[in-house]
Structure formats: C-alpha cells, structure tokens
Structure 1
Amino acid sequence: MLARTPSAILPTMRRVTASPRTSSVSHSARAARCTRRTFATHVEDNFRIPIIDFSKYRDAATAAQKEETAQEVVRGFTDVGFIYLSNHGIPEETVKHTFQKSAEFFSMPIEKKAELAWRDPRANRGFVQVGRERVTQSANADEIRQLREKAPDYKESMEIGRDWDKTYKNYWPREVDAPGFKRSMLNFFQTCHELHVLVMRSIALGLRLEETFFDSKIHEQYHNLRLLSYPPIKTQLLRGEGTARAGAHSDYGTLTLLFQDSVGGLEVQNPRTGQFQPATPIPGTIVVNAGDLLARWSNDVLRSTLHRVVAPPAKAISETEGVTPARQSIAFFCNPNQGAEISCLPTCVVPGGNPKYPPVTTEDYIVGRLKATYM
C-alpha cells in the first residue's frame, strides 16, 4: 500500500533538512508540507530518510523541545515513511547480544529448527525456513503461491510473540541447544515495546493528540519479534525474474523497529518516482518505518512505504558465478492491541471530509495478510 497525498488538521511543519537536530541520508522524493489547516504537496529534489536524535524527546528539558522532536518524527513519516532514530535509548551492548543469540539459533541443525516450525497465522510464531514466505503487496493467495514457486524469498526467520499469551505459545529451542536464547529474546521484546510506546507518544504529540492517546491501544503488546537470517547464496539463484532476498512489501502494523548489520540490502521506494533506493546501515541507529495500520489510522497522513531486501555485492568464485555474504537483521513489528479498532484519527481528516478506509480490527487485518503471505 502506497500512501496517498494527505490532508489533515495539523500544525505548521517545515521540511526536514540536515541540522544539529535532524541530519539525513540523501535519496530523492516528494515531501508534504503542512499549513496550519491542511497539507499541501510539492516536489523536492532529494528523497531523504531523516536521522532524528530521539534523546531530544526522551530527555527533553522543555515542552517546546519535546514538541519540536515530535514534529520531526511526524514529518519523517509524512515525507518518506521511514526515519533513522539515533540516541534511542537501547544500549549497543543489548543489540549486539541479541544479534549473537540470533546467530546461535540459526546455526542450529535444520532438524532442530524444523521442530519449531511456524504453523498458524493467528499465532504467527515459530521457525520459517528458506522459501516458505513470499512477501508481496498482493492479497491473493493463489498469486502469492505462484510467486513463491517462481521466486521465493531467500531468508529464514524465527517469529516470537508475547510469551504470556494464553491461546498461542512461543516455540522455544531447548536450553541445551540455544543457551540463554529465550531469556535474551524476552528481554529484548520488552525493551522494544518500551521504545515503541515512546515513539507512538511522539507521533500522538506531532498529530496534535494527547501525548498518551495511543497508550491504552498498544499496551497488550500484540507484537512480533522477527529474527532474520539471509544465508550466503549463489548469484545464479538470484537472477530469476522477481527474485529478491525479500520482495517489495509494506509492513502490517503501526511501526517496525529494524536493527541492521553492516552488510546492508534494505531498499526503500521513492513514493514519487517508484525507484528503490538503499537505506544504508548507520551505526548506532534504528530504522523505523510506519506500517499499514498506522497509515489507515492517520488517513494516509503517515506513509506506509514499500521496501525490499536485495542481495549485497557478491564475492566471485568463478568467471560466471559469485556468492553473496550472509546477512542478519532483527525486526520488531509493533502492533495495536489485538481487538483495537483502527479508524480515522480526529486530527487526520479535514472538516466535512470522509475517512479513506472503513474501520478494521488489528487481528482481522494482520491475520488476513499473514494467511495470504504464508499459505
């Protein structure tokens, strides 16, 4: 789903540019500029994913400083749909440790990982082997099946949800097979949820809502922690039509917190030109993007932007063949509460205007997308 030209009752917003408060990674795109009453669009020469110093929100000395950073966050999601967060509050040691435990899990024998296989889109938990998933914007199960057979996603993943859920349980490896894995992932899950709450508060403030507006709508932690491993692969297998490490798609929920290694491969679509451009890994930052439900909530004021993962440059092993390096990433898919109704926010439609989307519950939307993606 590509975000459309937004209209909303929001404060005056200026374009995000490189400055001591907000630096940026250059790309090319359209930016939306907001007047006091409505957004007006104009074409910019550069497509930019802003780098936002989130400590200026977390540790704001004044209400004005907090609001300024909140507006920077909203501008990033309005203009591009993606931001980089620096000084986000998650220690680098915590991120490194989680990557280490993820790598240890994926190094387990395939037989042991297969015992933890993903089974149910309502649960969305467990191990997903290479080729099982085919992410795409299509919601047609037959079309996705054909895409999967023709050009599967060359990655494996481990899906982890809230561990106290009474209906759906996580699949954990035995402690002897992956020492400390369960404890590390549960701690990281909680850490990411706490950052999600803060970012959603900044979005609420930037949209002229009460700062805690979303708190009661996300407290159930109906999230998904996805560990991702992209094994080395011969370039010949990536030459097929439509083939990618992960196909072009938008995410389903409110936000995605993406932790990248140094290999890279994430590309974001310029909403104006349709071209995909790299979201280069920047040490110490988290890539954060808006998902479909946040776009629906905001009446497309905030963009749910298409993105994909492509193979990094390969190492030659013959005159005609190469091998790509392995890649790791960790995605925390933030969602509203399971039964939350997602309907147009009051500040995101002009007086007398109509919402673009009918109300939908979190579970209905996400389970519907997962069924089509995996089945």
Structure 2
Amino acid sequence: MLAAASSCHSVLPTMRRMMSAPGVWPVSQASRAALRKSRTFATISEDAFRIPIIDFSKYRDAATAAEKERTAEEVVRGFTDVGFVYLSNHGIPQETVQQAFQKSAEFFKLPIEKKSELAWRDPRANRGFVQVGRERVTQSADADEIKQLREKAPDYKESMEIGRDWDTTYKNYWPREEDAPGFRRAMLGFFQTCHELHVSVMRAIALGLRLDEAFFDDKINEQYHNLRLLSYPPIKTQLLHGEGQARAGAHSDYGTLTLLFQDSVGGLEVQNPHTGQFQPATPIPGTIVINAGDLLARWSNDVLRSTLHRVVAPPAKAISDTEGITPARQSIAFFCNPNQGAEISCLPTCLTGNGQAKYPPVTTEEYIVGRLKATYV
C-alpha cells in the first residue's frame, strides 16, 4: 500500500523489517498475525514506484505450500504498492497470443461498412465494434461532462468487444466466417484461456490476503468478462495536440483484474500517485501486464490499488517539416469481472482497524453498467 491503512503504530517496526526483504513479505505466523490485527501496510518511497515482474510459475508449479504462499504475497504486494504487475511464465503459450493478435489485425482491416454492421449498441451487453471517437474513457461519471470531453478530445482508437458466448440474454456480434476466417474460433478459445489465468491469479490474491485459496472461485465462475481487441490507427500528430487529447484518456478499469497483452510499440502509462506523473509501462516480451480494477479495490477496502493509467502516442515519424505520423498500435485487454449478480462488499481480512468498510455493497452489474452508460455515445 502506498499509504498506511490503520492508525495502529505498534507493529510498524515489524512492517519495516518485512518491507526490507527483496520482493516478498516474510510468511512467519507472527508476521501474519501482526498484519491481520493491524491491517497496516508500510509505505514505499516515490522513486521506488516500479511495476514488479513476478514469475508466476513459482505459484503454478510450487513444490511446497510455503513457496506458493510467497509468490501469492508477492502478487498482493504488487497490487498493494502499485496496482500493476508484469506476470512472466504465466502459462499462456506465446503462439496463442500471436494468433489472437493476428486474427485481431485481420478483423480491423475489414472495410468500415462490414465492421459497422457489428456496432456496439447496449451497455448491458457491452458487445460489438466501437469506431474511432465513439468512446471517451475518463474517471468522470457525469454523462454531460463526458459528452463534452468526447467532442473536444475523443479517444483515437477502435475496438471490438466480446463477451461470454453462451449468454442467453446478450449475444456476441461476429463477422461472417468468409469475411474473417477463424476469427470466432480463435477469440472464443482465447477468452477461455484468459478466464483460466484470471482464476489462478485470483486464487493467488486470496491466499495473499489470508483468505481461503478458493475464496473467489464461486464468485467469478460465470465468466462475466469482456475481451477487448484494440487497434490504434496511425494518426497525424496535429490531431493529438488538442487539450486533453490522448489515444485513451486517463482512467481506472472497472472490474477485478485486467490482463493486457501489448505489442512492441508501447504507449501505456501508469500514474504515480505520489507525484501525479505518468510513467511508461514498457512492453516486456513474454509478460502480461495485469492491473487491479475498481471492484477489486472496493472488495479489498482499497488495500489493493486501482491505479489510473492512459495510452499516449509513441514517437512519430516525420512526414514534413511541420507534421509527423504515429505508428499503428495493437493491444488486447481481457477485463475480468466478478459474477453479474455478485455482491461486492469488504473482504473480512481487509477491514480497517476500527472494523469499518469504506464503501457500501454494490453488485457487479450495477457498477459496471453504470460506468459504461456514461462512457459511450
């Protein structure tokens, strides 16, 4: 945590000794008891704000319970301090990721007429194609304010939103097979693969928060997730010079976790809450960037951090003395959510020192649909 979560100071020396260990918290019974009693997390300095790289094979393939617990605590520490981690050795084959990127690129190369047939229509469904300028991500929840932001500085990106395919109420919008061969099959497989990683990371978080490892299993099993394919077209730099303009504005995500697969172009930046400055989350081959979302922050009473982030344009290539053009960028985000009707209320191990929860209970659907209604035209 970047700020202490309790007024109790009696265990601070213990916490400082814990924080001196490189990369993990000790797992002694005394340390656990101290944390459970006080809910105190030591601070980190401004210049120590770095996204940690976590080798998740040490959790997946742990030979002992202690080894698994150490990695789980490392995962929680990353979300506590920064809100973001790089996950290496995560178990998703690189060939699977490459295929998803290839099929995504093929989809966005379709004529706009064919993509527009699949247009996003309903925040409750949150499915379909979103053309450049239709979305304006922001922290605001005011529809009029977002409308003004969208008109002045729309997000320069297009996306394709895919949900669970067996939903009896809301259906995915798929391109015809002859237009995008293999697209549907590849994306459904990738959706399932990402869900399985989500379950594993949530089990690690549960263990790191001193809950039963399977605590979240029956709260995320409905796969109420959103697979978002993203394409950032090349754009002249003059179009990015307007006030508040970015390829995707500063925002936090809505759900539990976001799994972000980046290409090599870059552009993702994460805000340092100490300074307000945005720092690059440079692509690291073989890793997935994972960040905590708003509902996980609420669930954990802000013990886990939902950090602001944005996408900015990478360096442009000059095309004249006064103009440049940015390269195209691709990314794939898998927005992990709790079950549609799950009640998000403070976890028992995350209450403050006086036993208080910072937020009233809310269901997943109430929170996410409310945010989506204000975000899109």
The TM-score range, normalised by the shorter chain, is over 0.9
| 3-state DSSP of counterpart to 2:188 | helix
Partner of 2:319: 317
- Write the deviation string for residues 241-273 of structure 1: whole angstroms up to 9, x where unpaired: 000000000000000000000000000000111
Q: How many Å separate the matches in 2 of 1:299 and 1:317?
A: 50
Letter in 2 for 1:6: A
- Taking the TM superposition and a 5 Å limit, the aligned residue runs for 1:24-43 are 35=35, 37-43=38-44
Structure 1 residue 16 displacement after superposition: 8.5
Structure 1 residue 120 displacement after superposition: 0.1
- Select the residue among 291, 314, 330 that pairs with 1:328: 330
| 3-state DSSP of counterpart to 1:48 | coil
Partner of 1:282: 284
Letter in 1 for 2:366: D
Structure 1 residue 35 displacement after superposition: 4.6
Higher strand proportion (structure 1 or 2): 1
Q: How has the CA–CA distance of structure 1 residues 17 and 175 changed in structure 2, closer, same or farther, with 3 Å as cutoff?
A: farther
Structure 1 residue 47 displacement after superposition: 1.0
Q: How many Å separate the matches in 1 of 2:193 and 2:347?
A: 27
2:136 counterpart of 1:130: no
- Select the residue among 193, 215, 218 that pairs with 2:217: 215
Q: How many Å separate the matches in 2 of 1:194 and 1:69?
A: 18
- Whether the 8 Å contact between 2:228 and 2:335 is mirrored in structure 1 is yes
* Count, aligned residues: 362
Q: How has the CA–CA distance of structure 1 residues 40 and 61 changed in structure 2, closer, same or farther, with 3 Å as cutoff?
A: closer
Partner of 1:26: none
- Whether the 8 Å contact between 2:270 and 2:310 is mirrored in structure 1 is yes
Partner of 2:83: 81
- Select the residue among 165, 182, 185 that pairs with 1:183: 185
Q: How many Å separate the matches in 2 of 1:14 and 1:240?
A: 46
- Taking the TM superposition and a 5 Å limit, the aligned residue runs for 1:156-305 are 156-305=158-307
Q: How has the CA–CA distance of structure 1 residues 179 and 15 changed in structure 2, closer, same or farther, with 3 Å as cutoff?
A: farther
- Whether the 8 Å contact between 2:127 and 2:160 is mirrored in structure 1 is yes
Aligned-pair identity in percent equals 81
Higher helix proportion (structure 1 or 2): 2
Q: How many Å separate the matches in 2 of 1:308 and 1:223?
A: 21
Q: How has the CA–CA distance of structure 1 residues 278 and 14 changed in structure 2, closer, same or farther, with 3 Å as cutoff?
A: farther
- Whether the 8 Å contact between 2:155 and 2:249 is mirrored in structure 1 is yes
| 3-state DSSP of counterpart to 1:233 | coil
- Taking the TM superposition and a 5 Å limit, the aligned residue runs for 1:97-136 are 97-136=99-138
| 3-state DSSP of counterpart to 1:49 | coil
Letter in 2 for 1:146: Q
Structure 1 residue 87 displacement after superposition: 0.1
Q: How many Å separate the matches in 1 of 2:188 and 2:372?
A: 23
Letter in 1 for 2:39: T
Structure 1 residue 222 displacement after superposition: 0.1
Q: How many Å separate the matches in 1 of 2:362 and 2:53?
A: 32
Give ranges in structure 2 of 5+ residues lacking alignment.
26-33
Partner of 1:31: none
Q: How many Å separate the matches in 1 of 2:314 and 2:352?
A: 44
- Whether the 8 Å contact between 1:156 and 1:230 is mirrored in structure 2 is yes
- Whether the 8 Å contact between 1:53 and 1:86 is mirrored in structure 2 is yes
- Whether the 8 Å contact between 1:229 and 1:328 is mirrored in structure 2 is yes
Structure 1 residue 354 displacement after superposition: 1.0
| 3-state DSSP of counterpart to 2:332 | strand
Q: How many Å separate the matches in 2 of 1:17 and 1:235?
A: 45
Structure 1 residue 43 displacement after superposition: 4.2
Q: How many Å separate the matches in 1 of 2:211 and 2:183?
A: 39
Letter in 1 for 2:107: F
TM-score (norm 2): 0.92
Q: How many Å separate the matches in 1 of 2:18 and 2:350?
A: 18
Partner of 2:30: none
Structure 1 residue 8 displacement after superposition: 11
- Whether the 8 Å contact between 1:259 and 1:287 is mirrored in structure 2 is yes
- Whether the 8 Å contact between 2:39 and 2:353 is mirrored in structure 1 is no
Q: How has the CA–CA distance of structure 1 residues 351 and 35 changed in structure 2, closer, same or farther, with 3 Å as cutoff?
A: closer
- Write the deviation string for residues 176-202 of structure 1: whole angstroms up to 9, x where unpaired: 000000000000000000000000000
Letter in 2 for 1:125: R
- Whether the 8 Å contact between 1:136 and 1:248 is mirrored in structure 2 is yes
- Whether the 8 Å contact between 2:4 and 2:43 is mirrored in structure 1 is no
- Write the deviation string for residues 106-144 of structure 1: whole angstroms up to 9, x where unpaired: 000000000000000000000000000000000000000
Partner of 2:28: none
Give ranges in structure 1 of 5+ residues lacking alignment.
23-33
- Whether the 8 Å contact between 2:162 and 2:228 is mirrored in structure 1 is yes
- Whether the 8 Å contact between 1:3 and 1:300 is mirrored in structure 2 is no
Letter in 1 for 2:132: V
Q: How many Å separate the matches in 1 of 2:178 and 2:58?
A: 43
- Write the deviation string for residues 52-80 of structure 1: whole angstroms up to 9, x where unpaired: 00000000000000000000000000000
